[in-house]
Amino acid sequence: MNETLFLGARLLDPASGMDVTGDLLVREGAIADLGQAIGSPEGVETVDASGLCLAPGLVDLRAAIGEPGAEHRETIASAAQAAAAGGITTLCALPDTHPALDDPALVQFVLRRGEATGSITLLPYGAATKGCAGQEIAEYGLLQQAGAIAFTDGRRAIGSARTMRLALSYARTFGSFVVQHPEDPSLAAGGAATEGELATRLGLPGIPAAAEVILVARDIALARLTRGQVHFAHVSTAAALDLIRAAKAEGLAVTCDTAPPYFDLNETAIGDWRSYAKLSPPLRPEADRLAVVAALRDGTIDAIASDHQPHDADDKRLPFAQAEAGGAGLATLLGVTLARVHGGDLTLLAALDLLTARPARLLGLPVGRLAKGAPADLVLFAPDRAWQVKAGQLPGKAQNSPFDGRALEGRVVGTWKVGRRVFGA
Amino acid sequence: MSFSFPILPEGHLLAIEGLEPPHIGALLELAESYALLNRSGKTQRDLLRGQTLINLFFEDSTRTRTSFELAGKRLGADVINMAVSTSSVNKGETLLDTASTLNAMHCDLLVIRHAQSGAPALLSQKVSAAVINAGDGTHEHPTQALLDALTIRRRKGRLEGLVVAICGDVLHSRVARSNIHLLTTMGCRVRVIGPPTLIPAEAARLGVEVFHDMRAGLTGADVVMMLRLQRERMTGGLVPSSREFFRFWGLDAEKLAWARPDAIVMHPGPMNRGIEIDSAIADDPERSVIGEQVEMGVAVRMAVLDVLARDLRRNA
């Protein structure tokens, strides 16, 4: 019988609030037992986890993977390698690939490629509109049957209010939701940095923070109109978070995530033309970063996603405005989130909740918890182990980390997917 | 002339922002001496003998490129002009490919103009040459600000305390940004005047006063600096028409009368006559110093080349 016993771990289950030192037994890919003094079956393989934290494998709501179409940047296999090193066991892939995932066969292709890695559950989004072009809605029913987890145009905003209205209404038919990249396309066009003093000094075309606020406000109104469910990705401004907080209080089906750059960095990271810190949406002033931290604390933000976007050196070693936006984020997702725990902004359980149970609940998945019978998707990490992010030495193919040089505390020691070790010696 | 401190400590001239008053003052002193030398008809061809200066222009330019060429030749450098096609499919790739080419050629001084903000800074990390920014996107044009300051100082005898009004398309102007940094650093009171659609966000944070009305902004000005309004700004819808722009923000005799009676008029060129400036003003020898700006341009560029060449020798 295939059994693994973790001994003396700090068991962390955000869903139940459990935080105890104990053992955890995995049998046939599922959690068989956990707690104190659960006993040791004969012949079991043991993992000495004393001094380490054992938590559910991370559930990442948002990653743009190079495959299909940009395999020179990243393949599904290399993304899976980086995800495993980051403690991620469930990864949602954006559909704005080449071709866009607007056909059931393409969704099935990505699912198969994910399964072939054996190390992650890769869940593709279906395109919200055909070709992710923002015009006609895609075949949500067929895409969902093929395995699409929800619907989005990925890194492109659905700019037309009419199209968004139809998408929200139609997704509701299938009990699904629409993920929006909240940035008004006409205000954001050509922009490279948040409009303000720094962009003015650097001579960079600016994107006003209002570009995010406008689309969030509009889509909240459309959620009210359609009774559909909208999820805002990588929310980064204080004003947009205020709107989402109010919409939730009103009882609308509105959720959101943010990504580590928006609570760990501010716009000064692009000083000296650091194109690795060019992101979409662009990094914001410190006041917005603080508002994102506050919204993580008060529950307005439902999840922390990696917002991983692979780019190679040719995409980034360009004059700033010509460089591609987006940063690699899989391997640093846990470490950068733990910085907010070490900084006293979040408890360890609250931080893990945002990385596991809450995104799993949003997607309706049985993962993201340490409980008897749950799939044994696990991450073992040393909460205080120091390391430094070094572009060029990250796992996987994509090395374009906006955190290059950042010193972190908290490192993944091992990752298990349905009971099988997929990362760590 | 000798200095007790490095005038351009980075070994490049990428921006005015970050230079301190002693650095700017020393550059202007040196440029002043070159202005006198140029007027005397003498040259100093031994200074840069054996050094290679490459003019690398990714954007069309006649005046700036010629000015650098003349400055280099008057100091004895071997000057090569490289015009790089602006229609290259991927300009960025060309930029770094060009960097390795230039390294292989052992270029000493590299003058670059590029449509992208930050391109000279990127190149400076990749080449062994001293890099001079001859205009990058909407970021900076440092030698233009130095020549403007030298022109003002010669006409007004000082910089400190002067009221300088910079008018027109400030949003897209690298000349405006470099001038704002230089003039505020040297103690001028700087105003920017233009429609809100052509004023950059948070402009006041750069230490200037923002005006949208020419009368209010020009009142009491010692220097009126006009900026070029590029045609494509009109198609971008930032101003509705050239006739409306000229009516409200173009400089004519009526508007110039609001400035101080001895106010001088400047323009970095090339001018759009009848859009941002009336010909009667541009050609008025009593008010316009546009010709002198061009003359000072050569002197300032000689000073910059001189300073960077000293650094190259010091590091050799």
Q: From first to last of its 425 residues, what are the pLDDT tens digits of chain A? A: 589 999 999 999 999 999 999 999 999 999 999 999 898 888 899 999 999 999 999 999 999 999 999 999 999 999 999 999 999 999 999 999 999 999 999 999 999 999 999 999 999 999 999 999 999 999 999 999 999 999 999 999 999 999 999 999 999 999 999 999 999 999 999 999 999 999 999 999 999 999 999 999 999 999 999 999 999 999 999 999 999 999 999 999 999 999 999 999 999 999 989 999 999 999 999 999 999 999 999 999 999 999 999 999 999 999 999 999 999 999 999 999 999 999 999 999 999 999 999 999 999 999 999 999 999 999 999 999 999 999 999 999 999 999 999 999 999 999 999 999 999 97
Q: Under an 8 A CB cutoff, do B116 and A202 touch? A: no
Cβ contacts of A243 within 8 Å, gap of 6 or more: A213, A216, A217, A220
Q: Are residues A118 and A262 in the same domain?
A: yes
- Cα separation, A345 vs B223, in Å, equals 52
Count of A-B CB contacts under 8 Å: 74
Q: Within this chain, do residues A100 and A33 fall inside the same structural domain, yes or no?
A: no
From chain B, pick out residues whose CB is under 8 angstroms from the CB of A199: 200-201
The whole-angstrom separation of Cα A336 and Cα A405 is: 12
Low-confidence ranges of chain B (pLDDT < 50): 87, 89
pLDDT, residue B99, reads 83
* pLDDT tens digits, one per residue of B212-254: 999 999 999 999 999 999 776 666 789 999 999 999 999 999 9
Query: Based on the domain organization, do A379 and A333 belong to the same domain?
Result: no
How do B78-83 and B163-167 pair as beta strands? unpaired
Residues A133 and A262 reside in one and the same domain = yes
Whether A313 and chain B come into contact, CB under 8 Å, resolves to: no
Please check whether residue A71 lies inside any domain of the structure. yes
Q: Domain span at residue A27?
A: 3-54+375-385+408-424
A133 and A204 part of one domain: yes
Same-domain status, A39 and A125: no
pLDDT confidence of residue A251: 98
Q: Is residue A140 part of a domain?
A: yes
Residue A395, in any domain of the structure: no
In a domain, A403, yes or no: no
Q: CA nearest A18: which of A411, A349, A267?
A: A349
Query: Would you call A307 a catalytic residue per the annotation?
Result: yes
Same domain, A126 and A236: yes
Residues A70 and A43 in one domain: no
Q: Do B116 and A319 touch (CB under 8 A)?
A: yes
Interchain CB contact of A191 with B (< 8 Å): no
Q: Please tell me the distance from the alpha carbon of residue A183 to that of residue A199, in angstroms, as a whole number.
A: 18
- Confidence (pLDDT) at B95: 82
Domains identified in chain A, total number? 2
Tell me which of A257, A307, A315, A377 is the catalytic residue: A307
Contacts of A204 in chain B (CB under 8 A): 117-118, 137-139
CATH number at residue A81: 3.20.20.140
A47/A63 same-domain check:
no
A187, A195, A201: best mutation site toward chain B, by most B Cβ within 10 Å?
A: A201
Phi/psi region, residue A307 (left: phi>0; alpha: psi -120 to 50; beta: rest), is left
Q: Which tokens hold the place of B269?
A: 């060129």
Say if residue A413 is in the same domain as residue A274.
Answer: no
| Predicted local distance difference test score (pLDDT) of residue B60 | 82
User: Is there a single domain that holds both residue A110 and residue A145?
Assistant: yes
Residue whose C-alpha is closest to residue A315's, from A307, A328, A324 = A324
In this structure, is residue A164 part of a structural domain? yes
Domain annotation covers residue A401:
no
Residues A257, A112 within the same domain: yes
Q: Is residue A254 part of a domain?
A: yes
Residue A200 included in any domain: yes
Which residues in chain A are closer than 8 Å to B137, comparing Cβ atoms? 203-204, 319, 321
Report the CATH number that the domain containing residue A34 is assigned in CATH.
Answer: 2.30.40.10
What's residue B316's pLDDT?
Answer: 63
Shortest CB distance from A206 goes to which of B114, B137, B201? B201
Provide the token pair at B290.
Answer: 């546009």
The complex's ipTM works out to 0.92
